[in-house]
């Protein structure tokens, strides 16, 4: 089994999905991602198919029976065991947190992907980009291939040093080689040049500008793995990325839960809905940069409905509301969604749900 291992602050799940969908066109490919939105079975897929509930329970019970483990460790080992038993040729593995000490770092990957590194989970990973990048770079193996999104120089310095020290070949996405031809709420079309080859009119369904970069990094990985152009085109165009600027009528759902992700959401909203009235429903975990996230949301919201989507980690709605100029607090997320939908409808505008994947899950359940 060949492993592709991903670490970073944002865009891991999307980039992993694109890579797995491309590989699946030619080979059997497992995909392990987090978090899940509606069911933990979403975390483990082979060729796009989720593990069945019966198999999920069996593998989770088998791993739990071996020794005491944190839940994410159980998920990791269950997914790897399932992939091995099914004899998949490739496995695309997303880290949960950090990289160096992450439970997924047991995989002997020959390719690592580093998505944009920013400030999140600082209480665990460190207070500077250098410290955080050092943790993320912990997945880099000796003599491997490392493909990176463009990074802030402080993070890139660590990546270069680590690759040099481990004799790893570093390839960095060149944004100048991307030319976006069309962007709409139905998807995007773009050209990309890699290794002297021009890929014209590539298509993805996702609408966030960042998703074009994610798709290009996936293309680079696929080329390095020897996948053909037809598989690349088909894999990219067919990929569905839930809760990442997912537009459904007048509702946009995004799991954005840190400042960089919210800034990308703001960019998306200003691009596609520059003149629309926007109501935001948000819930934020208490261990996040609440002020920074609120500032990002405030840059595009006309009004905000605050709620609490997860009682243990979530900031109560009444404590979150004062971070915004125009906000109401409704603790119950289902009632809050109903009220936010009413306000958006009243203004004939757009409802944006963001701030946490817990809240995205609530919203998707309501919509379904």
pLDDT tens digits along 283-337: 999 999 999 999 999 999 999 999 999 999 999 999 999 999 989 999 999 999 9
Q: Across 205-282, where does the E strand assignment appear?
A: 246-248, 251-253, 278-282
Task: Please give the pLDDT value at position 124.
Answer: 67
Q: Tokens for 51? A: 């593990």
Task: Please give the pLDDT value at position 125.
Answer: 77
My answer on whether omega of the bond before 85 falls inside 30° of 0, hence cis, is: no
DSSP for 262-299? Answer: HHHHHHHHHHH-TTS-EEEEE--BTTS-HHHHHHHHHT
E strand or H helix that includes residue 50: strand 49-50
Q: Which residue has the tokens 């660590």?
A: 158
Task: Please give the pLDDT value at position 326.
Answer: 85
Q: Is the pLDDT of residue 154 over 90?
A: yes
Task: Please give the pLDDT value at position 304.
Answer: 98
Kindly state the average pLDDT of the residues 227-255. Answer: 95
Task: Please give the pLDDT value at position 66.
Answer: 65
Distance from C-alpha of 227 to C-alpha of 138, rounded to nearest angstrom: 27
Kindly state the average pLDDT of the residues 230-259. Answer: 95
Instruction: Specify the range with the lowest mean pLDDT, choosing from 191-195, 212-216, 245-249.
Output: 245-249
CB atoms within 10 A of CB 103: 17
Beta bridge partners of 30: 46, 91
Mean pLDDT for all residues in the chain: 95
- Dihedral pair phi/psi, residue 50, rounded to 5°: -65, 150
Let me know: does 354 contact 308? Beta carbons within 8 Å. no
SS3 237: helix
For the stretch 48-68, pLDDT in tens is 999 999 999 999 999 998 677
Task: Please give the pLDDT value at position 62.
Answer: 93
For the stretch 111-142, pLDDT in tens is 999 999 988 766 767 779 999 999 999 999 99
Binning pLDDT at 50, 70 and 90, where does residue 231 land? very high
Kindly state the average pLDDT of the residues 91-105. Answer: 93
**Helix (H) and strand (E) counts for the chain?**
13, 17
The model's pTM: 0.95
């Amino acid at each position: 089994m060949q492993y592709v291992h991903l670490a970073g602050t944002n865009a891991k799940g999307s980039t992993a999905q694109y890579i797995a969908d491309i590989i699946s066109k030619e080979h059997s490919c497992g995909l392990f991602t987090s978090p899940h939105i509606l069911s933990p079975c979403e975390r483990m897929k082979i060729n796009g198919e989720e593990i069945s509930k019966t198999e999920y329970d069996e593998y989770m019970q088998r791993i739990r029976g071996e020794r005491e483990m944190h839940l994410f460790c159980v998920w990791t080992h269950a997914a790897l065991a399932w992939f091995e038993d099914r004899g998949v040729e490739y496995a695309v593995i997303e880290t949960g947190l950090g990289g160096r000490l992450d439970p997924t770092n047991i995989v002997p990957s020959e390719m690592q992907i580093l998505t944009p590194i920013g400030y999140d989970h600082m209480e665990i990973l460190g207070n500077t980009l250098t410290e955080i990048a050092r943790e993320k770079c912990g997945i880099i193996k000796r003599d491997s291939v490392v493909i990176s999104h463009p990074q802030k120089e402080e993070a890139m310095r660590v990546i270069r040093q680590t690759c040099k020290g481990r004799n790893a070949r570093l390839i960095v996405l060149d944004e100048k080689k991307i030319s976006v031809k069309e962007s709409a709420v139905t998807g995007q079309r773009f050209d990309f040049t890699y290794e002297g080859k021009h890929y014209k009119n590539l298509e993805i369904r996702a609408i966030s500008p960042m998703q074009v970069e994610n798709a290009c990094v996936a293309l680079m990985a696929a080329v390095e793995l020897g996948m053909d152009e037809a598989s690349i085109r088909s894999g990219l165009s067919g990929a569905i990325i839930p809760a990442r600027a997912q537009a459904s009528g007048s509702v946009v759902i995004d799991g954005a839960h840190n400042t960089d992700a919210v800034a990308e959401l703001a960019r998306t909203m200003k691009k596609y809905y520059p003149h629309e009235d926007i109501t935001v429903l948000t819930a934020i975990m208490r261990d996040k940069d609440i002020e920074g996230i609120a500032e990002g949301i405030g840059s595009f919201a006309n009004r905000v409905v605050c709620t609490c989507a997860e009682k243990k980690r979530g900031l109560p709605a009444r404590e979150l509301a004062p971070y915004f100029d125009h906000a109401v607090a409704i603790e119950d997320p289902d009632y809050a969604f109903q009220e936010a939908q009413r306000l958006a409808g009243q203004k004939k505008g757009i409802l944006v749900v963001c701030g946490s994947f817990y809240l995205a899950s609530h919203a998707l359940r309501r919509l379904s």
